[in-house]
């Protein structure tokens, strides 16, 4: 075995299967590449874990809402039974609070004390009285949220061991809060308000309902526009269109449209829908239309793929028994392609649900404290609500933002799970 | 009557038309002679003739109504209100008229405005009544006409197929209309912008400060709309993102295709794809919640001065978002290299790394390059991450620890809130949008071509 | 490394003794191959002589390609594939864990069914092997290797003026000879050929067959072929495989004119396959 003689002048003959330094260098290069690969994957997955982890951890405090229960006396005459909405509930509530803390008398202290309780208390009280006017003149329990600082004190987000200058609650407020706890007035039930309240300036009152309704309307429009139009366009291009310049242009155009930055669609919506057609600003209808233009290419591409997967023999069979091409498509090809189309549509809608930038441009980041009555009313959507909250300085909004993200991700997971299930369940190999 | 109800009525009419047409065809059939089309197609024909024109009319009406009414109102306003008023003021007057009409009166408006508001309500009522009447008239006329056409030898199937075919064509053209709409709206608004700020100043100016209040006659003040720092910021952040995404995506794809076994691949690949499914707003929040503070603290501990909205944080998080993008394109490209090339290299005694570096990657290069170009286009057009995590001030810096701003950030900040369509501030956003659209379009076209060629090569 | 050398010393001696004459170059003993649960090859034992052409024949799916791929451990690249038994080349067991497949494959070249030149220039296709094994750096030494390899593969005259053009631009027969040249360039002892002509037209096939006949002066060649005529034309010895078993090995002439086994006879006379 003379052709791989070692370089040294010695007469030693090395057999071909003996590794040399060069070979081990080559193998360590191989191991290095493998290590890079593993490192890259670990980096990507740990980033995913960090993202989900930190958001879940920050969201945790928003799972419960700290509530306080007070006995409130609504004196006769303070509220007019024929018009219970008009009472000065703020004052009534303040009186009840002061009854628990009789020693608080200076206006400054009173203000401090008041800050512990949410501004939403008066509305909780009002709603109770409006529901049952017979409560007027009686004393009864009202449960309502503590203000943000109280909430955070309860959840330990504010460290009471810090010196007073470094925390947002005073020693006095901590004392009052402790008294409330002693008296068993504090509870922390599940935070349903987070889902069922509309937006508010006060974190403890802010909820996602308006955003959920807005997103629902927008997605509804998006579906009803992009689904039929997308399928029709795909059917034409795949089943009927002659091969010519125009259809080539449409084809290139659709592929490129799918890669146009979403914010450009926002500019389109702003210039065309709002400025040219004069549609209402911040309305889910406009948001839905913009989103449907964005979803359209996704649905067209998915539908074409699904139509392509239906074998030509099916079409030939139908045409062979005298069906027109339209009948062939309508009766045979489309139903067979439907699972694939639905999967693509759900994925497209999921993308639309998470889309933020175009909605910002058409003003769906307005501050609106009630859910929209119709798709023409101003509203926010889930992702724009997240944007608004993320921008808000109050501490309480941090956990609410994270919680809203969890809600958004929850919807996305469900939608994708449905899509994957449909793909698995109805997948047909020809 | 609302448009929704009207559309529902049209739908019901169409359904009635279907039943009518079918029943009529059934009656003809009773005569025992051979019909050209089955009765159901007679029904479809009547339904389409009834519903389709009416439906289109409602859409057009809804789109045009407010514009037309606004124009009428403005035309009728006395000249002392309208004279010399620019468009932005005009739209304020219009919205005041509308809120008066809706019963929200603030202060004591001009009598002319009160009159206009009254006329506005009246016009609204007339318009919606007219819409209902004309829509129903068209629906019924269509139905009756179609019904009269029905006969024994009427080719209902061919007619229905023809109409449906046209509908399909219209739908496919809508995709082109979208592109056209994008181009037109960007070009028209940009044109208005460039009539105030010269194109050259915009493209090559070194100072960007649209936020400084500019008097109307000072609009074209030199340098205020010089977009170079904005373009630079965009390129800089995209470069940082690619710096993170490219090696990570490429190495993970190499590992998954060439090294890992099936089980690891089937777990890791979907996990990576989750990264692609997370909305960008979530990445944005992740950047300000976790990454930016981390980088800041880490930098401070090294004695570095790190801005809270550093380019590094925004670009890094954007890079994480782009990992699955690169990895799935690289994965596809490497998997598409025929097994025979691998065999050829292994049979020569190449190690796996040598096979990958010298045979697979060169062969897969076009596919990978296509994917990278698409990722770059994504990075340039990405909005929410940079809106939340990058800066607002346009600085020309190559220090990743400082804040820079991007095209998309500027578009959002210029357009958020109430927008008037004639201030250079608003129009500048469209100028930036046009640049963004052209550059991403160019990248996409090149990338799609490259990828397509590559696919053809190995199929 | 020293230890390996000592241990291998005895093997090397044995190997040296085999070198003379038409002694056995490759000796396989009881080789079985499993794909997952499925056994594809059953206890194959065979001696392959040096500097001759050995043809593996048999109906498709009989295991001849599988066995061929065992000889340079190409089966290692398939996850679920498992090989038992021993294959010795010059007395060294190639499935010994001490043996590096990379070195083995430099020793045992392979040519595939379909020509698979790399998407590189003709020059780089040839230079690839010597480059990775560090046999020669670029420059005149490499030029020489490229020229010798191409000449040996009978391709030099056809391509010497376009060495920088892509190898994929050649005709099918030229591509296959390029692949043979590529295998020769790393200076192997053995060349395995897996139906090297099945994708070629008759004229290209004739050229490759001629080449195989010339190459046997320098190399031990094992060729898998579907065509019995080809086996008869190019090989000195032939092995008949059937359903994963080795049925018969002998001089090619004997196998074709006077086979011992009935199944061989049936196959050769065209009763199955």
The count of CB pairs under 8 A between chains A and C is 42
Q: Which of A33, A293, A356 faces B254 most closely, judged by CB atoms?
A: A33
Please answer yes or no on whether C116 and B359 come within 8 Å at the CB atom. Answer: no
Q: Which residues of C touch B357 (CB under 8 A)?
A: none
Please answer yes or no on whether A41 and B384 come within 8 Å at the CB atom. Answer: no
Q: What is the CATH number of the domain that holds C245?
A: 3.40.50.300
**A41 vs B256: CA distance, rounded Å:** 9
Average pLDDT, rounded, for chain C: 86
The answer to whether residue C222 is domain-embedded is yes
Average pLDDT over residues B253-263: 93
**B369 vs B360: CA distance, rounded Å:** 14
The answer to whether residue C32 is domain-embedded is yes
B252 or B4: whose pLDDT is higher? B252
Domains detected in chain B: 3-154 (no CATH), 228-458 (1.10.3720.10)
**B361 vs B334: CA distance, rounded Å:** 7
pLDDT of B241 reads 97
Q: Which residues of B touch C72 (CB under 8 A)?
A: 347
Average pLDDT, rounded, for chain B: 86
Q: Which pLDDT band holds residue B1 (cuts at 50, 70, 90)?
A: low
A187 φ, ψ (degrees, to nearest 5): -140, 160
Name the burial class of residue A130, with classes exposed (0-12), middle (13-18) and buried (19+) by CB atoms within 10 angstroms of its CB.
Answer: middle
Range of the domain at C222: 27-116+189-268
ipTM score above 0.85: yes
pLDDT of A347 reads 93
Average pLDDT over residues C234-239: 93
Contacting B residues, span 128-147, partner chain A, CB-CB under 8 Å: none
Residue A377 contacts B where some CB pair is shorter than 8 Å: no
Distance from C112 to chain A by nearest Cα, in Å?
A: 24
pLDDT in tens, A208-253: 999 999 999 999 999 999 999 999 999 999 988 888 888 888 888 8
**Which of A285, A419, A306 lies closest to A362, judged by CA?**
A285
pLDDT of A51 reads 96
Point out the least confidently predicted range of A36-45, B79-88, B322-331, C105-114. Answer: B79-88
Residue A361 contacts B where some CB pair is shorter than 8 Å: yes
Question: Would you state the structure tokens that stand for residue C209, as one six-digit string?
Answer: 């067959």
pLDDT in tens, A54-78: 999 999 989 999 999 988 888 887 8
**Which of A136, A155, A135 lies closest to A145, judged by CA?**
A155
Q: What is the total residue count of chain C?
A: 273
State the DSSP code for B209: -
pLDDT in tens, B45-75: 888 888 888 988 988 888 788 778 888 888 8
pLDDT of C273 reads 54
CB A369 within 8 Å of CB A31:
no
Q: Which of C3, C5, C50 to mutate to test binding with chain A, by most A CBs within 10 Å of its CB?
A: C5
Point out the least confidently predicted range of A95-109, B256-270, C30-44. Answer: A95-109
pLDDT of C12 reads 47
Please answer yes or no on whether A253 and B175 come within 8 Å at the CB atom. Answer: yes
Distance from B62 to chain A by nearest Cα, in Å?
A: 9
CB C31 within 8 Å of CB C70:
yes
Distance from C58 to chain A by nearest Cα, in Å?
A: 32
The answer to whether residue C100 is domain-embedded is yes
pLDDT of C191 reads 94
Q: Which of B340, B346, B348 faces C183 most closely, judged by CB atoms?
A: B348
Contacting C residues, span 42-101, partner chain B, CB-CB under 8 Å: 72, 74, 77, 79, 101
**B186 vs B437: CA distance, rounded Å:** 9
Q: Which residues of B touch C102 (CB under 8 A)?
A: 349-351
A11 or A390: whose pLDDT is higher? A390
pLDDT of C22 reads 57
Q: Which residues of B touch C128 (CB under 8 A)?
A: 345, 348, 350, 358-359
Q: Which of B260, B263, B333, B348 to mutate to test binding with chain C, by most C CBs within 10 Å of its CB?
A: B348
Residue C218 contacts B where some CB pair is shorter than 8 Å: no
Please answer yes or no on whether A277 and B436 come within 8 Å at the CB atom. Answer: no
pLDDT in tens, C136-153: 777 889 999 999 999 988
Q: Which pLDDT band holds residue C21 (cuts at 50, 70, 90)?
A: very low
Q: Which residues of A touch B353 (CB under 8 A)?
A: 26, 29-30, 32-34
pLDDT of B127 reads 87
Minimal-distance CA residue of chain B relative to C71: B347
Contacting A residues, span 11-50, partner chain B, CB-CB under 8 Å: 26-27, 29-30, 32-34, 36-41, 43-45, 47-48, 50
Q: What is the total residue count of chain A?
A: 430
The answer to whether residue C168 is domain-embedded is no
Distance from B262 to chain C by nearest Cα, in Å?
A: 9
Point out the least confidently predicted range of A400-404, B206-210, B359-363, C234-238. Answer: B206-210
- Which DSSP helix (H) or strand (E) runs through A294? helix A284-309
Q: Which residues of A touch B316 (CB under 8 A)?
A: none
pLDDT in tens, A305-352: 999 999 999 999 998 988 888 889 988 999 999 989 999 999 999 999
Point out the least confidently predicted range of A165-179, B83-97, B353-367, C97-111. Answer: B83-97
pLDDT of B373 reads 94
The answer to whether residue C145 is domain-embedded is no
Q: Which residues of B touch A235 (CB under 8 A)?
A: 168
Average pLDDT over residues A288-295: 95
Q: Which residues of C touch B354 (CB under 8 A)?
A: 132
**B233 vs B225: CA distance, rounded Å:** 15
Q: Which residues of C touch B338 (CB under 8 A)?
A: 116
Residue B433 contacts A where some CB pair is shorter than 8 Å: yes
Residue tagged 């318009």 (tokens): B127
Q: Which pLDDT band holds residue C272 (cuts at 50, 70, 90)?
A: low
Dihedral sign, Cα of residue B390, residue B394, residue B395, residue B396: positive
Please answer yes or no on whether B348 and C109 come within 8 Å at the CB atom. Answer: yes
Residue C116 contacts B where some CB pair is shorter than 8 Å: yes
pLDDT in tens, C176-229: 999 999 999 998 999 999 999 988 899 889 989 999 999 999 899 999 998 888
Residues of C with CB under 8 A from a CB of A: 1, 4-5, 8, 11-12, 15, 90, 92, 98-100, 102-104, 106-107, 132-134, 187
pLDDT of B421 reads 64
Q: Which pLDDT band holds residue A14 (cuts at 50, 70, 90)?
A: low
Please answer yes or no on whether B345 and C118 come within 8 Å at the CB atom. Answer: yes
Q: What is the total residue count of chain B?
A: 459
The secondary structure of B36-47 as a DSSP string is: SS-HHHHHHHHH
The answer to whether residue C134 is domain-embedded is no
Residue B274 contacts A where some CB pair is shorter than 8 Å: yes
pLDDT of A246 reads 83
Q: Which pLDDT band holds residue A30 (cuts at 50, 70, 90)?
A: very high
Q: Which of B261, B341, B354 faces C116 most closely, judged by CB atoms?
A: B341
Q: Which pLDDT band holds residue B270 (cuts at 50, 70, 90)?
A: very high
pLDDT of A165 reads 80
Q: Which pLDDT band holds residue B207 (cuts at 50, 70, 90)?
A: confident
β-pairing verdict for C24-35 and C38-49: antiparallel
Average pLDDT over residues A266-288: 88
pLDDT of A12 reads 52
CA atoms within 13 A on the CB side of B50: 27
Distances (CA, A) of B180 to A243, B70, B185, C27: 22, 26, 8, 73
The answer to whether residue C150 is domain-embedded is no
Please answer yes or no on whether B349 and C117 come within 8 Å at the CB atom. Answer: no
Average pLDDT over residues B91-107: 76
Please answer yes or no on whether C129 and B348 come within 8 Å at the CB atom. Answer: yes
B420 or A260: whose pLDDT is higher? A260
pLDDT in tens, B8-25: 888 998 999 888 888 887
**Which of B398, B381, B386, B380 lies closest to B288, judged by CA?**
B386
Q: Which pLDDT band holds residue A8 (cuts at 50, 70, 90)?
A: very low
Strands (E), chain C: 24-35, 38-49, 53-57, 81-89, 92-93, 108-111, 190-194, 220-224, 237-242, 245-251
Average pLDDT over residues C255-267: 90
pLDDT of C111 reads 94
Q: Which of B59, B70, B94, B178 to mutate to test binding with chain A, by most A CBs within 10 Å of its CB?
A: B178
Question: Would you state the structure tokens that stand for residue B351, as one six-digit string?
Answer: 């190690």
B388 or B456: whose pLDDT is higher? B388
The answer to whether residue C180 is domain-embedded is no
Residue B37 contacts A where some CB pair is shorter than 8 Å: no
Q: Which pLDDT band holds residue B214 (cuts at 50, 70, 90)?
A: very low
- C-beta atoms surrounding C38 within 10 Å: 9
Q: Report how many domains make up chain C.
A: 1
Question: Would you state the structure tokens that stand for residue C220, as one six-digit string?
Answer: 């031990």
């Amino acid at each position: 075995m003379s052709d791989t003689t070692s370089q040294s002048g010695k007469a030693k003959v090395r057999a071909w299967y003996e590794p040399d330094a060069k070979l081990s260098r080559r193998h360590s290069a191989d191991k290095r590449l493998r290590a890079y690969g593993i490192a890259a994957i670990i980096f990507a997955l740990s980033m995913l874990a960090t993202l989900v982890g930190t958001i879940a951890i920050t969201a945790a405090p928003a799972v419960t809402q700290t509530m306080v229960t007070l006995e409130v006396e609504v004196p006769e005459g303070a509220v007019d039974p024929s018009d219970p909405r008009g009472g000065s509930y703020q004052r009534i509530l303040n009186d009840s609070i002061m009854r628990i803390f009789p020693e608080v008398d200076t206006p400054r202290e009173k203000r401090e004390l008041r800050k512990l309780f949410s501004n939403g208390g008066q509305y909780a009280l009002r709603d109770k009285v409006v529901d049952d006017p017979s409560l007027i003149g009686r004393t009864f329990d009202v449960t309502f949220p503590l203000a943000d600082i109280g909430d955070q004190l309860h959840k330990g987000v504010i460290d009471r061991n810090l010196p007073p200058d470094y925390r947002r609650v005073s020693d006095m407020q901590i004392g009052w809060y402790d008294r409330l706890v002693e008296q068993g007035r504090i509870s922390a039930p599940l935070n349903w308000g987070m889902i069922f309240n509309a937006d508010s300036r006060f974190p403890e009152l802010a909820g996602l309902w308006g955003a959920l309704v807005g997103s629902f309307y927008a997605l509804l429009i998006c579906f009803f526009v992009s689904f039929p139009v997308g399928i029709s366009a795909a059917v034409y291009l795949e089943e009927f269109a002659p091969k010519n310049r125009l259809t080539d242009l449409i084809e290139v155009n659709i592929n490129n449209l799918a890669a146009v930055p979403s914010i450009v669609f926002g500019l389109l919506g702003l210039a065309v829908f709002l400025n040219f057609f004069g549609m209402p600003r911040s309305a889910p209808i406009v948001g839905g239309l913009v989103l449907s233009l964005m979803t359209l290419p996704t649905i067209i591409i998915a539908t074409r793929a699904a139509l392509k997967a239906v074998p030509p023999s099916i079409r030939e069979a139908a045409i062979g028994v005298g069906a027109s091409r339209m009948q062939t498509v309508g009766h045979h090809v489309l139903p067979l392609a439907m699972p694939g189309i639905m999967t693509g549509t759900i994925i497209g809608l999921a993308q639309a649900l998470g889309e933020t930038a175009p909605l910002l441009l058409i003003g769906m980041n307005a501050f609106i404290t009630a859910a929209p009555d119709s798709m023409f009313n101003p509203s926010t959507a889930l992702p724009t609500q997240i944007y608004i909250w993320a921008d808000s300085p109050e501490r309480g909004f941090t956990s609410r933002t994270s919680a809203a993200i969890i809600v958004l991700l929850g919807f996305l997971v469900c939608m994708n799970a449905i899509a994957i299930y449909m793909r698995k369940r109805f997948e047909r190999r020809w | 009557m609302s448009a929704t109800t009207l559309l529902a009525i049209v739908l019901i009419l169409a359904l009635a038309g279907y039943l009518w047409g079918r029943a009529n065809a059934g009656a003809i059939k009773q005569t025992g002679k051979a019909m050209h089309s089955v009765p159901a197609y007679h029904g479809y024909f009547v339904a389409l003739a009834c519903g389709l024109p009416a439906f289109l009319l409602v859409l057009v009406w809804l789109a045009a109504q407010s514009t037309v009414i606004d124009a009428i109102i403005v035309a009728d306003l006395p000249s002392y209100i309208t004279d010399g008023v620019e468009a932005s003021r005009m739209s304020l007057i219009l919205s005041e008229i509308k809120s008066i009409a809706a019963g929200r009166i603030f202060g004591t408006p001009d009598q002319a405005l009160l009159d206009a508001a009254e006329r506005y309500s009246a016009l609204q009522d007339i318009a919606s009544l007219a819409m209902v009447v004309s829509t129903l008239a068209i629906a019924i006329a269509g139905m009756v006409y179609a019904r009269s056409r029905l006969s024994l030898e009427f080719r209902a199937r061919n007619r229905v197929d023809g109409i449906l075919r046209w509908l399909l064509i219209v739908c496919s053209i809508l995709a082109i209309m979208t592109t056209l709409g994008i181009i037109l709206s960007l070009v028209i608004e940009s044109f208005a912008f460039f009539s105030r700020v010269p194109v050259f100043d915009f493209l090559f100016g070194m100072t960007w400060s649209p936020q400084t209040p500019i008097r109307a006659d000072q609009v074209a003040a030199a340098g205020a709309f010089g977009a170079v720092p904005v373009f630079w910021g965009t390129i800089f952040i995209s470069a940082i993102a690619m710096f993170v995404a490219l090696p990570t995506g490429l190495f993970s794809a190499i590992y998954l295709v060439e090294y890992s076994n099936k089980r690891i691949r089937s777990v890791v690949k979907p996990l990576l794809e989750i990264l692609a499914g997370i909305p960008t707003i979530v990445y944005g929040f992740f950047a300000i919640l976790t990454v930016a503070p981390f980088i800041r603290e880490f930098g401070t501990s090294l004695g570095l001065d790190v801005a809270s909205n550093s380019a590094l944080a925004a670009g890094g998080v954007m890079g994480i978002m782009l990992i699955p993008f690169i990895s799935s394109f690289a994965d596809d490209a490497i998997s598409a290299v025929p097994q025979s090339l691998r065999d050829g290299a292994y049979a020569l005694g190449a190690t796996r790394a040598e096979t990958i570096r010298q045979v697979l990657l060169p062969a897969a290069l076009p596919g990978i390059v296509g994917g990278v170009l698409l990722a770059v286009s994504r990075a340039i057009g990405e909005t929410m991450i940079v809106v939340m995590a990058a800066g607002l001030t346009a600085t020309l810096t190559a220090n990743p620890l400082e804040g820079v701003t991007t095209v998309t950030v500027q578009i959002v900040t210029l357009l958020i809130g109430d927008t008037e369509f004639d201030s250079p501030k608003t129009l500048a956003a469209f100028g930036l949008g046009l640049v963004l659209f052209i550059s991403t379009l160019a990248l996409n076209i090149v990338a799609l071509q490259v990828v397509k060629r590559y696919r053809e090569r190995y199929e | 490394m020293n230890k390996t050398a000592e241990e291998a010393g005895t093997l090397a001696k044995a190997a040296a003794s085999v070198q003379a004459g038409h002694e056995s170059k490759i000796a396989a003993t009881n080789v079985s191959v499993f794909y997952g649960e499925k056994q594809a090859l059953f206890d194959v034992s065979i001696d392959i002589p040096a500097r001759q052409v050995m043809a593996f024949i048999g109906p498709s799916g009989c295991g001849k390609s599988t066995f061929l791929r065992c000889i340079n451990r190409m089966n290692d690249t398939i996850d679920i594939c498992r090989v038992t038994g021993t294959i010795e080349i010059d007395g060294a067991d190639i499935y010994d864990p001490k043996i590096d497949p990379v070195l083995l494959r430099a020793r045992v070249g392979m040519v595939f069914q379909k020509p698979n030149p790399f998407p590189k220039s003709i020059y780089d296709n040839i230079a690839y092997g010597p480059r990775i094994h560090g046999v020669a750096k670029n420059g005149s030494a490499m030029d020489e290797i490229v020229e010798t390899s191409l000449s040996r593969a009978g391709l030099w005259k056809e391509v010497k003026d376009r060495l920088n053009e892509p190898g994929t631009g050649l005709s099918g027969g030229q591509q296959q000879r390029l692949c043979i040249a590529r295998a020769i360039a790393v200076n192997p002892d053995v060349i395995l050929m897996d139906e090297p002509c099945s994708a070629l037209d008759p004229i290209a096939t004739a050229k490759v067959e001629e080449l195989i006949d010339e190459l046997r002066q320098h190399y031990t060649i094992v060729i898998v072929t579907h065509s019995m005529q080809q086996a008869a034309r190019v090989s000195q010895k032939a092995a008949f495989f059937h359903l994963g078993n080795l049925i018969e090995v002998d001089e090619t002439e004997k196998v074709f004119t006077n086979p011992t086994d009935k199944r061989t006879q049936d196959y050769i006379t065209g009763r199955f396959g």
